[in-house]
Amino acid sequence: MQRRTLGRTDLQVSAIALGTMTWGEQNTQAEAFEQIRLAKDAGVNFIDTAEMYPVPPNGETYGSTETIIGNYFRQFGDRGDWVLASKVVGPGRMAHIRDGNPRLNRNNIVAALDASLARLQTDYLDLYQLHWPDRKTNFFGELGFTYDPDDEFVAIEETLEVLDDLVKAGKVRHIGLSNETPWGTAQFLHLAQTRGWPRAVSIQNPYSLLNRTFEIGLAEIALREQIGLLAYSPLAFGVLSGKYLNGARPAKGRLTLFDRFQRYNNPQVEIAAQGYVDLARRHGLDPAQMALAFVTSRPFVTSNIIGATTLEQLRSNLDSIELNLDAQLLEALEAIHLRQPNPAP
């Protein structure tokens, strides 16, 4: 397993990270434990979670994923072997969290972190991420931006100041962004430099063969400022494995179980996914492994966050680290992208 430097820190993280958002919904605690052990045996040392997991989020399962991870640490006692990342939710989407108003202000962030640490059964996080911006902007598949001069969002200064206190208290080692824009990322970096507050070391945004929008603006920032991408949804909820082609809906597939994920279910996605799957098969490759290898190989990617619901899927996804895409294959991938760019932003 390759190791890469997390931002400007001294932490070395595996080029593949273990995603956890199915634990507590599609996966039991016992299955999650098996996934962790398998990933560790493969050389993974980076595990990513969030207070709102599992997904789809609801009040009954809220915090279950972190609880499972905490139970794992209690049983196996290897917390120190892991770079552990979690996230605090932003506003507007979680009625069951902190009375439905989880803004990125002092009270909310402190409460969220303390609760996460308790569930995770640890006294610190290696990486604490802002799950999405407090302000109104475009993320989660929204491409258009409508400026709202009356948007009363929590100032980035306030958010960073409380994160600074948490770093100084030893509860957080480093901070990161998620679902952030070029403007927001630049603001966080500027304020960190001018105020002496913690510098974001990573940005966790979607990135896959079906969504390469990170390359527009953010890739340059990631490389020049050493704030690498932690890529999520690298298989677009499994679409790039080919299992949903021609209208197929496997019994335990996420798009079968949950109809809320429409960004990965449109005619343009179908056309592009078919092209990528056909290309992989012509070259004798597993389509999912090819898609993952593409993401992992990008120079702005620090770690590729993979998730799976079965050990077979996870083992195959982990094996993608061994796949090197040659120039001819990369050129063919680019040709498909140019014909059908970013159908699942």
Q: Which of 172, 186, 56 is nearest to 123 (CA)?
A: 172
Half-sphere exposure of 235 (CA within 13 A, CB side): 30
192, part of any domain? yes
Number of domains the chain is built from? 1
SS (H, E, C) 62-75: CCHHHHHHHHHHHH
pLDDT reported for residue 261: 63
Distance separating alpha carbons of residues 341 and 278, to the nearest angstrom: 17
Q: Is residue 252 part of a domain?
A: no
Residue 291: half-sphere exposure toward Cβ, Cα within 13 Å: 35
d(CA 299, CA 39) in angstroms, rounded, equals 23
Position 299 in a domain: no
Assess if residue 12 is contained within a domain. Answer: yes
3-class state of residue 305 by DSSP: strand
Q: How far apart are CA 102 and CA 117, in angstroms?
A: 17
Please check whether residue 267 lies inside any domain of the structure: no
Instruction: Answer whether residue 189 is part of any domain.
Output: yes
CA atoms of 180 and 186, how far apart (whole Å)? 10
State residue 265's pLDDT score. 80
Query: What per-residue confidence (pLDDT) applies to 246?
Result: 82
CB contact at 8 A, 106 and 158: yes
Alpha carbon of residue 67 to chain centroid: 19
Q: Does residue 186 sit within a domain?
A: yes
The DSSP letter of residue 235 is T
Q: How many residues does the chain have?
A: 345
Task: Give the separation between CA 46 and CA 174, rounded to whole angstroms.
Answer: 14
Tell me the C-alpha distance between 124 and 336, whole Å.
Answer: 44
pTM: 0.95
Q: Which of 53, 72, 128, 276 is catalytic?
A: 53
CATH number at residue 157: 3.20.20.100
**Known active-site residue 264:** no
Task: Tell me the per-residue pLDDT of 140-172, one tens digit each, with 9 for 90 and over.
Answer: 888 889 899 999 999 999 999 999 999 999 999
* pLDDT tens digits for range 217-234: 999 999 999 999 999 999
In a domain, 150, yes or no: yes
Low-confidence residues of the chain, pLDDT below 50?
none
Residue 23, domain extent: 3-204
Token reading at 273: 């996914």
Residue 312 C-beta-side C-alpha neighbours within 13 Å: 0
- Of the candidates 129, 205, 212, the one whose C-alpha atom is nearest the C-alpha of residue 163 is 129
Main-chain phi, psi angles of 269, to 5 degrees: -60, -45
